Structure 1
Amino acid sequence: LHDGTEYKGDEVKLVGVDVRTDLAVLKVEAHKRLPVAELGSSSKVRIGDWVIAIGNPFGFEGTVTVGVISAKGRSNLSLREGASQQDFLQTDAAINPGNSGGPLLNLEGKVVGINTAISTSTGYSAGVGFAVPIDLAKTVFPQLIKKGKVERGWLGVYIQPLTSDMKEALGVDHGLIVNEVIPDGPAEKAGMKSQDVIIEFDRKPIGSVPDLQGSVAVFPVGKAATVKVIRKGKAKTFKVKIAKMPEEVAENRPLKSEEMEESANWLGLEVQDSPDRRGVVVVGVFPDSPGADAGIIVGDVIRRVGQHDVENVRDYEKAKKILSGETRPILFWVRSSRSGRHKFVAVRPE
């Protein structure tokens, strides 16, 4: 502790861990009353509010840095490790390796967040740090203390926010697009499909990834939720029986490098047959091309172009022929080479 007191061995017990939020609860068998920090409310924090970060960056104990709340509700961040259920507070208070787990305080000294990650190209603070909102932590701690783990509702889909190009391509103005429907999951059993755009859950509008994740997580397991989507321009409503979230996630499959049938450049992309015959692998991306601008990289696997499923180069060429004169953004369904998960990418032709 700050006064030099140490607790170790049998004096410290790991009560529970929640990987999705990157939080844990420790129990300390202390022989005296320990000082505790008062928890505040992250929902009351406003962008521009001053905050204080405390931690042990690079082993320097009790380091204090200050900054402001730069943004709220940050999600869909590609982190090498850490929270996958993301609704972060963003701050420019310096956060470095060793700060994780330390408090983010308001000017009243109340904890509004728990420092967890940074966005940087160097490994050191670049003024873009993230903290788990304390209101989210408050929903996690009671279950960790009582059960040692967190049980959540599960819809069985992977989702992502809509960009302006994706909205134009799909003809919608809001919602979250379904990248992938998990086989035999609640959503698939109810009839939901990839490329559905979720606009309501339990009759409540959905405006962000944290909105949906939070709503599904606390929805009673075993009960049916009403999910409203836009599919091919038309509204559809499904009754989805929410399941308990599985403890394990399927492992990503690595791509093999084999000589396959190839396709010439279209939209700045060169592709060849995927080894498993489930799509085409991107083997080349031309700089400053539509494909590069959309974020497609070598190794990504294209599974669908527009409304056309792609299992091989011939399917890709058919879609290319049909869509070659398109001027609006074209929606690609892609399996990311980085995460192994599916996502939608809107490619705007030149």
Structure 2
Amino acid sequence: MRILSFQKIVNSQSTSVGIFLFFAICLLVKHNVSQAQISDYSNIIENVSECVVSIVAMSQTPQEQSSQANTTFSRGTGIVLSDNGYIATNNHIVADANRYFVELNNSFVYEAELIGGDFSTDIAVLKIDIANQQTCEFINNVNELTIGELVLGIGSPYSLPGSVSVGIVSNINRSLDTNGQSTDHVLYIQTDLIINPGNSGGPVVNQESEIIGMNSATLQNQTGSSGIAFAIPANVITRVSRQLIRDGVSRKGYIGVEVSPLPQTIQQIQNLGLADRRGALVSDVNINGPAYQAGVRAGDIILTVNRVVVQDDHNFRYMISAQEAGSNIRLSLIRNGSFFSTEVLIEGRLIENPNSN
């Protein structure tokens, strides 16, 4: 199957356009599922349902030669972060809107305030005026996920709240390149969950009822969803949401280097004094940046960050992006066959949407 496009999953409509219902004919595959498994699914859903909400983002823009406003809607899902009403969702749901509404599991609807949004990770935080709202547990370390692990996706596809799909983890730390724009600020969890418009912002949950990620994007072809979905990992959700709540923005770690993949052949790797192809090649250094001040130069190969092995150039960019501004990291490098290390101060920078006005 040829993949034609990488798309954010958002359900948009205009008041000037009628509502169309699309019905798909699905092939039903019979599974021998034990009663215990069904009970386990029920328990998971019961544990997390109260912290999953539906979101409607409304945009009103004046129409030329008319006193009426043109109104469009984006629909998605959100995750309750705190008992006092902070909610995480996808930035692409709310980015172009000016009013926001949240529907809880009990069908109560609240108008929400946008606290902040981050284009680079596709995370936004809303706030509703509520107390004692149920929250969910987030997994501590997404790297402990195993390929093939069963997961559930919960959301509001096609404005159907509480819809659940079941799948497995297909990959972790997946780097994507969408329309020439790097997504190295997020290394995604790949699943085979069935994701449809309105699922954006909804949780991916493991069998311990822990949130492991947030559905954000899917590969699509001419017939719709391909069964390849991508979720923002829990640690990214919590880190970026915390920054948005605190500062209204999320700054990404920056040290002023550009990196490239290491050479392909074994001989080239050995000529560089390396045992394998892990690491990132420094291709350029900003002379005004902290890495240059710490002695990093073009041609160096970065091997570890704070003693954690750098897998490749995508992994390195993510590791730096995830650092807090003002912190220090220790890099280990190799230059002309000699190993050395240096400490680098992390600066923070905002990543703007290149397509914004």
Deviation at 1:70, TM superposition (A): 0.6
**Aligned pair 1:221/2:221, yes or no?**
no
Deviation at 1:114, TM superposition (A): 0.6
Return the structure number with greater strand share. Answer: 2
Deviation at 1:33, TM superposition (A): 4.1
TM-superposition CA deviations, 1:240-286 (whole Å, max 9, x none): 5424222256979xxxxxxxxxxxxxxxxxxxxxxxxxxxxxxxxxx
TM-superposition CA deviations, 1:78-115 (whole Å, max 9, x none): 12479541221110111233322110011233211111
Q: Which residue of 1 aligns with 2:290?
A: 186
Q: Is the 8 A contact 1:114 1:132 kept in 2?
A: yes
Q: For residues 106 and 226 of structure 1, do their structure 2 counterparts lie closer, same or farther at Cα, with a shift above 3 Å needed?
A: closer
Q: Is the 8 A contact 2:280 2:316 kept in 1?
A: no
Give the whole-Å Cα distance in 2 for the aligned partners of 1:51 and 1:167.
Answer: 42
Give the whole-Å Cα distance in 2 for the aligned partners of 1:59 and 1:166.
Answer: 53
* Aligned-partner residue type, residue 195 of structure 2: I
- Of residues 12, 18, 22, the one that matches 2:118 is 18
Aligned length: 245
- Of residues 259, 280, 283, the one that matches 1:159 is 259
Deviation at 1:137, TM superposition (A): 1.9
- Of residues 28, 34, 42, the one that matches 2:133 is 34
Q: Which residue of 2 aligns with 1:48?
A: 148
Q: For residues 222 and 6 of structure 1, do their structure 2 counterparts lie closer, same or farther at Cα, with a shift above 3 Å needed?
A: closer
- SS of the aligned residue for 2:224 comes to coil
Higher relative contact order (CA 8 A, sep 6+): 2
Quote the sequence identity (%).
Answer: 30
Q: Which residue of 1 aligns with 2:337?
A: 234
Q: For residues 204 and 84 of structure 1, do their structure 2 counterparts lie closer, same or farther at Cα, with a shift above 3 Å needed?
A: closer
Give the whole-Å Cα distance in 1 for the aligned partners of 2:309 and 2:317.
Answer: 9
Q: Which residue of 1 aligns with 2:197?
A: 97
- SS of the aligned residue for 2:349 comes to coil
RMSD over aligned Cα atoms: 3.3
Give the whole-Å Cα distance in 1 for the aligned partners of 2:293 and 2:321.
Answer: 16
- SS of the aligned residue for 1:128 comes to strand
Larger CA deviation: 98-107 vs 159-168: 159-168
Q: For residues 198 and 96 of structure 1, do their structure 2 counterparts lie closer, same or farther at Cα, with a shift above 3 Å needed?
A: farther
Give the whole-Å Cα distance in 1 for the aligned partners of 2:253 and 2:209.
Answer: 34
Q: For residues 141 and 82 of structure 1, do their structure 2 counterparts lie closer, same or farther at Cα, with a shift above 3 Å needed?
A: farther
Q: Which residue of 1 aligns with 2:304?
A: 200
TM-score normalised by the chain length of structure 2: 0.58
- Of residues 192, 195, 208, the one that matches 1:108 is 208
Q: Which residue of 2 aligns with 1:117?
A: 217
Q: Is the 8 A contact 2:189 2:233 kept in 1?
A: yes
Q: Which residue of 1 aligns with 2:44?
A: none
Deviation at 1:71, TM superposition (A): 1.0
Question: Unaligned regions of 5+ residues in structure 2, if any?
Answer: 1-102
Q: Which residue of 2 aligns with 1:7?
A: 110
- SS of the aligned residue for 1:126 comes to strand
Give the whole-Å Cα distance in 1 for the aligned partners of 2:216 and 2:267.
Answer: 32
TM-score normalised by the chain length of structure 1: 0.59
Q: Is the 8 A contact 2:119 2:353 kept in 1?
A: no
